[in-house]
Structure 1
Amino acid sequence: MDEGRPAWVRSDLEREYYDSEWGMPVVDEAGVYERIVLEGFQAGLSWVTVLKKREAFRAAFAGFDPDAVAAFGEEEVELLLGDERLLRNRAKIEAAIQNARATVVLREADGLPEGPVGAEPGLARLVWSFRPEEEPPAPSLHEGAGSMIPESVALAKELKRRGFTFVGPVTMYALMQAIGIVNDHPEESPRRAACAAAVRKALAD
């Protein structure tokens, strides 16, 4: 741990990600879809493993364009399974494709919860609608944050109901932390205030 960073920030790549991206607001559909894909692939692995392959994932999954990925079929699945740059897990690859299709369907879905107007309608606004009404207390630098909250449990349930997979409550809490829905930067971290200000601005636009 250094300069207020939590214990999971160990490598230079993780440090760059933490200092520039983790906890910053992501309020567009493609951006939220990308994070869901990456968090799904991370399940059971270290986050740095996914970060090292992020650009390969971006290229393989059409820049995380949900419309393009939704059109993938078995031929594309086999190509992805043969791509040595990726984490070649059939279930996770098929989940990324299914989640792209579910993302496209959400654009026209009825009965979506109301989310902040700063979030793009559809997936992004649905995910942001589960932002806690009260910001959880800042985690201790030494103890770290928990692994889930009631809102991440509810978000996981709603996404599964709408056809998403690999979106369990722990994975969804990691998503909420990563895209600014909850601010789990330690009190000692200068990133806490910076991300809070960025979220306020993004949701007000």
Structure 2
Amino acid sequence: MADWQDDGRKRCAWLGAWAGAADPLYRAYHDEEWGRPQRDPVRLFELLTLEGAQAGLSWITILKKRASYGPAFDGFDVRKIAAYTDADFARLMANPGIVRNRLKIGSTISNAQAWLALEAEVGDVPAWLWQFVGGQPRQNHWRGMGEIPASTPESDAMSKALKKRGFRFVGSTICYAFMQATGMVNDHTRDCYCYRELT
């Protein structure tokens, strides 16, 4: 039996559908973070950044680089990131611990600036983000991963609103993955032990 299910607990099938599923890092992410409501602004900005970095890559690639992202981006302090200079950009491009993509690194900096502008506009950015699911986790009841959508009208609306405010790498599919990661929606399937914990 695969390492990721050797404790006898049933988990979402996507753990076995992706390369690296047996990695303890992947299982810990599923068990301890994915789908669990998150309202801390630092963690929300981190996950928005990581979801954007993941575009075109596997999630396990991002998880393995995650430990390098915090130090590289000043603990995801949006005020520090928003003030990054060309020297900071060059430093990040030279860092093998993160995804060294010019557009993705640039978007993290500009997204920090957009986050601060949004904060000046609405005050509470986490509450503003959570408004797209009515402020409370959306409880889904999927029987299998084939039922789980890649995007929804809510993620479409979030994407449109973020893009309007200057955010990048926030397409509807990325926004839905962000909603799943931060527990705005509970997309653990009904046979997963986390579904019962979170419902």
- The aligned residue for residue 42 of structure 1 is 54
2:187 & 2:111 partners in 1: Cα distance?
26
- The aligned residue for residue 78 of structure 1 is 90
CA RMSD of aligned residues (A): 1.8
Gaps of 5+ in 2: 16-20
1:123 & 1:8 partners in 2: Cα distance?
30
1:189 & 1:5 partners in 2: Cα distance?
4
Deviation of the 1:8 alpha carbon: 2.6
Task: Give yes or no for the alignment of 1:187 onto 2:199.
Answer: no
Q: Which amino acid aligns with 2:186?
A: N
The normalised TM-score by structure 2 is 0.87
- 1:127 aligned residue (108, 129, 135): 129
Gaps of 5+ in 1: 113-120, 197-205
Task: Give yes or no for the alignment of 1:165 onto 2:171.
Answer: no
Count residues in correspondence.
Answer: 186
The normalised TM-score by structure 1 is 0.85
Task: Give yes or no for the alignment of 1:4 onto 2:10.
Answer: yes
Change (3 A) 1:23 1:137: closer
2:179 & 2:101 partners in 1: Cα distance?
24
Task: Give yes or no for the alignment of 1:98 onto 2:101.
Answer: no
Q: Which amino acid aligns with 1:161?
A: K
More helix, by proportion: 2
2:181 & 2:42 partners in 1: Cα distance?
15
Change (3 A) 1:142 1:67: closer
- The aligned residue for residue 18 of structure 2 is none
1:134 & 1:100 partners in 2: Cα distance?
25
Task: Give yes or no for the alignment of 1:30 onto 2:42.
Answer: yes
CA displacement 1:37-77 (0-9 Å, x = unmatched): 00000011110100001010111000011111111121111
- 1:16 aligned residue (25, 28, 33): 28
Identity of aligned residues (%): 38
Q: Is the 8 A contact 1:41 1:92 kept in 2?
A: yes
